[in-house]
Structure 1
Amino acid sequence: MPEQLSLLLPVWAGDQPDFLAEAFRSSVDAQTRRPDQVVIVRDGPVPEPLGEKIAELVKDSPVPVDLVELEHNVGLGPALDAGLAACHHDVVARMDADDISLPHRFAVQMPIMESGIDIVGSGLVEFADDPDEIVATRAVPTDPAEIRRRARFATPFNHPTVVYRRSLVIGVGGYTDFAKMEDYLLWAKLILADARVANVAEPLVKYRVGAGAYARRGGLDLLRAEIAVQRRFRELEFTTRRQLVRNLVVRGGYRLVPEGLRRSAYRRVIAPYRK
């Protein structure tokens, strides 16, 4: 049976108006199966040009848009939880404010959700400045058992590509304020709740990577977040003690190596667990 879809799109002060417009229009206007509602979460105050672009998109949207305006910047996890509360429909698609959805994204993902799945992601391709110049592909496991297995080492979903059931996400506590790892923690909680999981191998989203992308994947803040999420996984009994040690050594070590080595390690060590 056809289901209705809410699109959840958070925006914060660091986003670019033109990128937001491209992300919005690719996920709404250009879709062969459009969402039935868009929820934009403005995570705290934004510069005037970005605020004007948000108002323009709300005004000109071909589908209803609900704007959630948070007084202060609360971070991605709490902002998404606030947006989920405003979604009218149980099926919710995620989108970031600087990525691009391919026109058939929801036409591919929605029938999978309607077949009884609880969360479906997809592959994605990375680009720097020109969306037509692809610099990398991020593949995902497609077998449900493999998705669950690989989740014990690396996130099994590309967050900007996922479509999931709002009721189940809220039922496991939502994203919560778990900075930099909120999505990974959510996938673990969903898997522990026996969510029916799926991935589409085909890339359905173009992911923008700017200068410093690999630098942002390392450093002490990421190391602290990595340690925190791995400890939480162990508390939830999502991982074994052996897996905890492995993850802290491999994933934690990855956060500390120089950027050049991190780029190589991502492709040779981290990324293969996502393919």
Structure 2
Amino acid sequence: MSETNSPSLEQPLISVVMGVWNPHPRHFPEVVESILAQTYQNLQIILIEDPSERDGREMIRHLQDDRIIHIRNEERTSLPDQLNKGLGLATADLVARGDADDIWEPHRVATQAKCFEMDPDLVVLGSTLKIIDDDGNHLGYRDYPRKHEDIIRALRRYCPIAQPVVMFKRKIVLELGGYLKDFFIEDYDLWCRLAKAGAKFENYPEPLVQYRIHPEGIKSTKLKKTLDSTIRIKETHFRGQLAAADHMRILAERGLMMMPSKFVLWLFGQMTFSKELPSST
């Protein structure tokens, strides 16, 4: 390993946990390269891959780095199973999550680690997202509520923490049972359980990940399943707490499930993406 990529002894270890299945031959290596290029170098990169016609090990074989732990399961499991296996292998106090097609900004880990250092009570930290297309072209931004109270209120309507950029305290997540398979959107369910347990949330105001939208991405292929799971999570975790506006949103989401997926994805982009970087104030 080169000297420039050597972990700093002054940096506490952070575990990167990623589930991989049917990785894109161009995007997946780009993602791993962006993690290896972090300004924060003391990383443990745990890749849990389920078998498919594509083998991610071959795609990143050229990235020889002893920080990478790449495990390929013998049989297809599920994303919650993959992530829980990764959490079980992780040894750091903080876990940085990521998806196999989203690019990390070079300062992502350093920025989030500093936030946890400054606020010992913080448990879950996300950020704004920069949106890119299949070829990496900039499309816009997606903003989220920044402060804890606003995030907790938003949980009744949608998932206000983006899994591809989240960092959290591993021990607290494991104490709640980790990721569950009760819902298709396992991260939204986890944030709801953490919120009910009193965990503190925040979102960093600047984009720390480039969130890729492309034809093979789950954002495109499982859209209606995502909508259905979103509704079930809200009705399960916030039964009796939903306001009239929350119920109206659920009705609108049920209506979207009957529309063409391409239209719903387009509408989602129009309603949630902005062309300009949101103000950090």
Please tell me whether the aligned partners of residues 183 and 233 of structure 2 are also in contact (alpha carbons under 8 angstroms).
Answer: no
From 3, 19, 28, the equivalent of 2:12 is 3
Matches within 5 A, 1:178-217: 178-211=182-215, 215-216=220-221
Please tell me whether the aligned partners of residues 104 and 210 of structure 2 are also in contact (alpha carbons under 8 angstroms).
Answer: yes
Q: Does 1:74 align with 2:104?
A: no
Q: Which residue of 1 aligns with 2:23?
A: 15
* Greater fraction of residues in helix: 1
From 172, 177, 181, the equivalent of 1:177 is 181
> Alpha carbon RMSD of aligned pairs, Å?
2.6
- Whichever residue aligns with residue 256 of structure 1, its letter is M
Q: In structure 1, what is the Cα distance between the partners aligned to 2:60 and 2:183?
A: 25
Q: CA shift at 1:143, angstroms?
A: 1.5
Please tell me whether the aligned partners of residues 119 and 165 of structure 1 are also in contact (alpha carbons under 8 angstroms).
Answer: yes
**Between 94-103 and 244-253, the greater mean CA deviation after superposition:** 244-253
Matches within 5 A, 1:50-199: 50-57=56-63, 60-61=64-65, 63-115=66-118, 116=120, 117-131=122-136, 133-199=137-203
Q: Which residue of 2 aligns with 1:38?
A: 45
Q: Which runs of 4+ in 1 moved over 6 A?
A: none
**Between 114-123 and 209-218, the greater mean CA deviation after superposition:** 209-218
Q: In structure 2, what is the Cα distance between the partners aligned to 1:259 and 1:47?
A: 26
- Whichever residue aligns with residue 266 of structure 1, its letter is F
Q: Give the TM-score, by structure 2 length.
A: 0.83
Q: In structure 2, what is the Cα distance between the partners aligned to 1:179 and 1:191?
A: 17
Task: Show CA shifts across 1:186-239 (max 9, x none).
Answer: 1111111111211111111011111376753643x345423432332136x7x4
Q: In structure 1, what is the Cα distance between the partners aligned to 2:155 and 2:273?
A: 12
SS at match of 2:238: helix
The 3 A distance-change label for structure 1 pair 218 and 34 is same
Q: In structure 2, what is the Cα distance between the partners aligned to 1:209 and 1:145?
A: 29
Task: Show CA shifts across 1:73-99 (max 9, x none).
Answer: 222122111111110112000111111
Task: Show CA shifts across 1:110-161 (max 9, x none).
Answer: 0111221111111111111332x21121111112111111111111111100
- Whichever residue aligns with residue 171 of structure 2, its letter is S
Please tell me whether the aligned partners of residues 112 and 167 of structure 2 are also in contact (alpha carbons under 8 angstroms).
Answer: yes
Q: In structure 2, what is the Cα distance between the partners aligned to 1:118 and 1:226?
A: 23
- Whichever residue aligns with residue 166 of structure 1, its letter is R
Q: In structure 2, what is the Cα distance between the partners aligned to 1:250 and 1:17?
A: 37
- Whichever residue aligns with residue 8 of structure 1, its letter is V
| Overall identity of the aligned pairs, in % | 27
- Whichever residue aligns with residue 35 of structure 2, its letter is S
Task: Show CA shifts across 1:230-262 (max 9, x none).
Answer: 332136x7x437576334213332333234542
Unpaired segments ≥5 residues, structure 2: 1-9
Q: In structure 2, what is the Cα distance between the partners aligned to 1:119 and 1:175?
A: 14
Q: CA shift at 1:179, angstroms?
A: 4.6
Q: CA shift at 1:65, angstroms?
A: 2.4
Please tell me whether the aligned partners of residues 213 and 220 of structure 2 are also in contact (alpha carbons under 8 angstroms).
Answer: no
